[in-house]
Structure 1
């Protein structure tokens, strides 16, 4: 329910961006100087005695006329106004605001943020991290105020404690805010080894301390400058911090950074200003930005959708299920996500309405409070939902496809450079392209002149994607080798060179999760093909530390220790300090309950049956056969050990344990055929 509405937000934002048409406009700024030669910048706000609106200077010609009007007139300071202002600290963190701020300041995803917060909570450093509350326990407030006075002085402590209350209508304030358990424990004193935990604790500690500090006092100055005839006018603004207050510790991040305003030089009414430079500047309106995890969580909070404590799982799930991908920290809908959303909006619209979801949250709150019967809520929901399902069963698939095809047309069939019909089949030149479904599931674009014309391509409007199913798309050359992007059984991949008698298996690398084929270029492909990437020798033992991408995602490796990385991009940028931190944290956590280690190398079969493998261990690599584990000597590298060496180690280990398993195996060879029909338990039956 909530995931569908969340996905709708992302899809509709993408449709807004695609429908957007940029509009040109111009602005004029002037570098001026006061009587003492101190320079400052002012923006033109009046022309011809009228206030300039955003699009009044719509062309370069209009901007040049404005520049000429300024150049030909003497300018004077008409008024100077200074106003005092205050900035108050922000409330302490709850789950959603912690996720938003970690995303803005560190680029951390919601899942990554919650994982680090979970470990801080388990270590006893912070309070419970899944909370909608922003109130703070009285003893914690008192401790924070004492710490502020001790560190910064009494001027930074307000006369009375600051009290915060959550204004979100769907908040369930069962827990207090996210705060340090000990206000005196600053980030430096804890010495946290893991980078994510260290950054997050620093953020939480500073925000908590700042929320109980004195407000910052500012002075905002506005100077109006113009000509005596009133035909042109400019405005200069500046801001000065008189007392930093809570800003000494913490300043909240912003999704869209504003220009910094500095101090204006001293200006007096009637004072003449010199013109140092007058510059016209061209601008274009920008489409609405794609959501980041932070701005999506903020929007869900505004609409009353979901619970602040569950936002992380919602945003993560729609990515893991392939409805959305993240590129440069922005959320972009996949074709699968678009199809699902358009279908639901057109045939189950009521359940994707933002107010319906928010209203249902309130009903569930009433059930939780005991003021509403849960059976009545479920019955009312199911009655209407069941009727909607019954209606869709009568729909023909062709009708549904036509509707989705119509709504997604701007995305599926983007305008052609030559101005031709984007739906005209590029192969036969007669048929029209439309949305079709495959027998194996999924959807694609095909020609309606089938079977005479068999043209098909993926849903994405990029014609280049159709190349992937054949010889692939040539991305370029590296060291004389062609680098291709191709589509395989298990998804898109990159390949160096072609298959030949000399190179029957050319190097290949699958595209990591979240990497879109249409965003691939030569540099990215070469980086993938060069993995695993050597980082350098470990400072403790000199053994090589590497970064790569495996079946379980991005990792760093040292000897037999593998440690996961939160983001794929970190594989290409991680340095030795960060790698050592991640590896140390992995060793400290241990392998985890129920975790099954993956073999480093499979050497072959034992004479008595069963696989002989090189395994990673807590105290170093070892060889394993059946129930016999033999440690590898320190001078033998896991990659270099042979089957013969492993059999000797296993025999020696078995002899020391008195099992005699390996030593007696030749004598038991005649009995081996009895175990042949039962291939799987063969190793067990030979042990008696």
Structure 2
């Protein structure tokens, strides 16, 4: 074998092998092959941070095969990705395959096309050890921070928590934004808008002119006085102003701008965008998708010009050469663009086509002419006047330019046309309204806006945003979800024909879609880290660390020196944090004293989330506990709200009539008349207890106000749902076939093990032996809570509160919690 080329992806390997011909064999490393050892920290801090690397268990077979091929080859070419991470993978491959790193050929290309591959092979270079060291420093620093901080969180706050240099800063942004929103008090004002009409030759209303008053009124009385003053007034055109304007296209995509635009226009998550972009790159459709450069090659600019001229005309072409603002943009040489501008359809699945079309349009638009507009403003005088004017604004697109291909977010290509007017022309008033509006709290982050903020602050790099956002959700610090808004009364004043009418409307406010919400544990961890490790979570410091990595990449600083400087400031804080008590770390907050007993009431974080504690446990008196209701927050709950929680458990009364249901296989379900119904709050939310330790979750009702009649409806629905769920049971055993969300499945009601059933199987033909065999082969059920957390030596000892203390009331049996 003459030449062995090693790339990261098997999909990429197939494409490249076709371009290189018979003298080349292309194989994949399937990404990273080595990482820091999992035995201990994997870093010898005392010996200037010497790392201990090991081949990943799942990559040992791959490495063995590559070693064999490398021995048989005349030359080995390392063709991993062109960013720092790819450079580090190339170095690890050389080390693991026993290659001379300085003699091994290293090639890079930002697109998988035959010309790019051919050019790369013709211009090999050595592995850039500066880039390797920059990536190595990042990996080591992040391991040190995570390895030393996470065990402290386990011991001081809760098992299973983690911290990281970039992820913790991202969580801090989300937590602080949520607190801004919680502390925000909206103010209202009244904005005037409405319609005037031009008059035809007969003096009748003709064309409509939408107008508004630029300044708002602070209160309803002022707005009403203004509208009342319009009675008997005359309206005329005081001034006409028309100005030409231009709108410029934005540069082609970088990684972060692609993530943002795909979120806004296509509704993609950051992770989804990167997965699809990776497939497009590996199939040769787009250039490398991890880049902070807005540059385009001369070849790309030339081809874009040809396509634009051919499709739209020469007047639509305007070649541009963008320059990346960041002086440290080192990750790649070009922005994200199509490898061939003549291709508009890449086939594949629908989302690949949608993302490709977005990339194609943005890159092509960047090389197109500016859009030309004509903006008009009309000032309407009111007589008799105290210098009051109404304003009408319009905009006409006179030349589409780049907007022929790509519309920027919030910029619609719909013309706002104003009627032909002359100065002094009289206008007839129509309906004018003053509507109450409210100031808005800062917007919550979504994935796109969080990426934009991190990028603007210089925190992280293109390759880090997607895994960071994924990690903070996986760790339970952040929840991405939709939330319904709440109704709010809005006042509306209407003036027409000299009469003012006032009415109250209702609008929905506060609705959210795909926003990032911090959990209570995020606030606790953030406050602990900010207080004790403020340097690590400092925004400027985190950005400065990124700048240090850039200096290492450019050969301007030794990576060990950078790490030693960081560790000298970081580690003393770790030692100090070890001396803190769990109470100090857990940030328990005193709400006040119970007016009945005088006992202190605190809000804390526990195994299942936040809870309120009544009593401090002194004098051998056991405290009582109550879980927070959904929507209540540790940061904002007040004493009065906490006292309400201790009204649970709440006895609603007796079941007025028996209710029974029977499953298809004859299994009976039901509750007898006279059984007590009790509303309770548990670690997983409010629920009803009835009959012989039977439970029904309360959804859509408040456990503090649900009536007996409403509770009966909830219980009956739960009994019927349990009956409907059973498809088949096997008498004398715990094995059943149930209806599930994704279809029927086999379950053992005692061990909770589940096994799959194929869609086309006959459920009634399955025997007990077949069901038991599948259950035996099925994976064990996932554990919840503390049992589910991975074990770390540093966190074996814990003083976490017993599970029973988290529930409402003085005690709560484990059996009840399990059933619930």
Q: Normalising to structure 1: TM-score of the pair? A: 0.65
State how far apart, in whole Å, the 2-side matches of 1:506 and 1:455 are. 20
State how far apart, in whole Å, the 1-side matches of 2:385 and 2:582 are. 68
Partner in structure 2 of residue 492 of structure 1? 684
Cα pair distance change 1:141/1:263, threshold 3 Å: same
| Shift of residue 424, structure 1, vs aligned partner | 4.2
State how far apart, in whole Å, the 2-side matches of 1:162 and 1:192 are. 31
Please report the RMSD computed on the Cα atoms of aligned residues, expressed in angstroms.
Answer: 4.6
Cα pair distance change 1:473/1:88, threshold 3 Å: farther
2:274 to 104, 114, 132: 114
| Shift of residue 467, structure 1, vs aligned partner | 8.9
| CA deviation profile, 1:427-453 (whole Å, cap 9, x unmatched) | x55223224465x69764312353354
| Shift of residue 62, structure 1, vs aligned partner | 0.3
**2:342 paired with 1:172:** no
Partner in structure 2 of residue 314 of structure 1? 468
1:446 to 608, 613, 624: 613
Q: Indicate the SS of the match to 2:463.
A: helix
Q: Indicate the SS of the match to 1:40.
A: strand
| Shift of residue 303, structure 1, vs aligned partner | 1.0
Cα pair distance change 1:602/1:64, threshold 3 Å: closer
State how far apart, in whole Å, the 2-side matches of 1:433 and 1:209 are. 63
**2:762 paired with 1:637:** yes
1:40 to 180, 193, 209: 209
Contact 1:82 1:221 in 2 (8 A): yes
| Shift of residue 64, structure 1, vs aligned partner | 0.9
Partner in structure 1 of residue 362 of structure 2? 207
Contact 1:171 1:307 in 2 (8 A): no
Cα pair distance change 1:99/1:472, threshold 3 Å: farther
Cα pair distance change 1:239/1:167, threshold 3 Å: same
**2:180 paired with 1:11:** no
State how far apart, in whole Å, the 1-side matches of 2:649 and 2:271 are. 37
Q: Indicate the SS of the match to 1:93.
A: coil
Partner in structure 2 of residue 333 of structure 1? 518
Partner in structure 1 of residue 105 of structure 2? none
State how far apart, in whole Å, the 2-side matches of 1:165 and 1:336 are. 42
Contact 1:601 1:639 in 2 (8 A): no
**2:554 paired with 1:387:** no
Partner in structure 2 of residue 241 of structure 1? 397
State how far apart, in whole Å, the 1-side matches of 2:447 and 2:303 are. 33
| Shift of residue 171, structure 1, vs aligned partner | 3.1
Cα pair distance change 1:471/1:127, threshold 3 Å: farther
Partner in structure 2 of residue 455 of structure 1? 625
**2:304 paired with 1:137:** no
**2:600 paired with 1:432:** yes
Q: Indicate the SS of the match to 2:433.
A: strand
Q: Indicate the SS of the match to 1:339.
A: helix
1:298 to 452, 461, 468: 452
Q: Indicate the SS of the match to 2:213.
A: strand
Cα pair distance change 1:366/1:524, threshold 3 Å: farther
| Shift of residue 505, structure 1, vs aligned partner | 8.5
Partner in structure 2 of residue 374 of structure 1? 559
Cα pair distance change 1:530/1:176, threshold 3 Å: farther
Contact 2:680 2:689 in 1 (8 A): no
2:352 to 197, 212, 215: 197
| Shift of residue 333, structure 1, vs aligned partner | 0.5
Partner in structure 2 of residue 416 of structure 1? none
Contact 1:486 1:492 in 2 (8 A): no
Cα pair distance change 1:25/1:443, threshold 3 Å: closer
Contact 1:170 1:307 in 2 (8 A): no
1:218 to 356, 370, 373: 373
Q: Indicate the SS of the match to 2:684.
A: strand
2:186 to 22, 29, 46: 22
Contact 2:234 2:384 in 1 (8 A): no
| Shift of residue 99, structure 1, vs aligned partner | 0.9
Contact 2:689 2:696 in 1 (8 A): no
Contact 1:237 1:261 in 2 (8 A): no
Contact 1:614 1:638 in 2 (8 A): no
**2:540 paired with 1:355:** yes
State how far apart, in whole Å, the 2-side matches of 1:19 and 1:162 are. 46
| Shift of residue 219, structure 1, vs aligned partner | 0.8
Partner in structure 1 of residue 224 of structure 2? 64
| Shift of residue 130, structure 1, vs aligned partner | 1.7
Contact 2:615 2:624 in 1 (8 A): no
| CA deviation profile, 1:221-256 (whole Å, cap 9, x unmatched) | 1111113554121111111111111112211224xx
Partner in structure 2 of residue 596 of structure 1? none
Contact 2:236 2:381 in 1 (8 A): yes
| CA deviation profile, 1:132-190 (whole Å, cap 9, x unmatched) | 122122222222222222222223222xx111222245533424222222222213xx3
2:433 to 260, 279, 284: 279
Cα pair distance change 1:453/1:389, threshold 3 Å: closer
| Shift of residue 72, structure 1, vs aligned partner | 3.4
Partner in structure 1 of residue 43 of structure 2? none
| Shift of residue 466, structure 1, vs aligned partner | 5.7
Contact 1:344 1:352 in 2 (8 A): yes
State how far apart, in whole Å, the 1-side matches of 2:282 and 2:679 are. 44
| CA deviation profile, 1:392-424 (whole Å, cap 9, x unmatched) | 3344444445xx346xx8xxxxxxxxxxxx644
State how far apart, in whole Å, the 2-side matches of 1:35 and 1:4 are. 64
State how far apart, in whole Å, the 2-side matches of 1:263 and 1:243 are. 15
Contact 1:144 1:209 in 2 (8 A): yes
Partner in structure 2 of residue 571 of structure 1? none
| CA deviation profile, 1:34-63 (whole Å, cap 9, x unmatched) | 244211111124xxxxxx4x5xx2111100
State how far apart, in whole Å, the 2-side matches of 1:473 and 1:115 are. 52
State how far apart, in whole Å, the 2-side matches of 1:453 and 1:136 are. 67
2:263 to 89, 103, 114: 103
Partner in structure 2 of residue 544 of structure 1? none
Partner in structure 2 of residue 663 of structure 1? none
Q: Which range is displaced more, 327-336 or 205-214?
A: 205-214
Partner in structure 2 of residue 288 of structure 1? 442
| Shift of residue 103, structure 1, vs aligned partner | 1.1
Contact 2:373 2:398 in 1 (8 A): yes
Contact 1:136 1:177 in 2 (8 A): yes
The residue correspondences of 1:463-478 to structure 2 (distance < 5 A) are none
| Shift of residue 264, structure 1, vs aligned partner | 1.4
**2:317 paired with 1:184:** no
State how far apart, in whole Å, the 1-side matches of 2:477 and 2:247 are. 40
| CA deviation profile, 1:72-123 (whole Å, cap 9, x unmatched) | 3212211111111111111111111111111112222111211222222233
Partner in structure 1 of residue 75 of structure 2? none
Partner in structure 2 of residue 658 of structure 1? none
Cα pair distance change 1:74/1:137, threshold 3 Å: same
Partner in structure 1 of residue 527 of structure 2? 342
Cα pair distance change 1:423/1:74, threshold 3 Å: same
Gaps of 5+ in 2: 1-164, 201-205, 483-513, 654-658, 662-669, 672-676, 705-709, 726-738, 773-820
Q: Indicate the SS of the match to 1:34.
A: strand
State how far apart, in whole Å, the 2-side matches of 1:97 and 1:484 are. 53
State how far apart, in whole Å, the 1-side matches of 2:609 and 2:290 are. 37
State how far apart, in whole Å, the 2-side matches of 1:67 and 1:230 are. 13
Contact 2:397 2:415 in 1 (8 A): no
State how far apart, in whole Å, the 2-side matches of 1:118 and 1:335 are. 35
Q: Indicate the SS of the match to 1:227.
A: strand
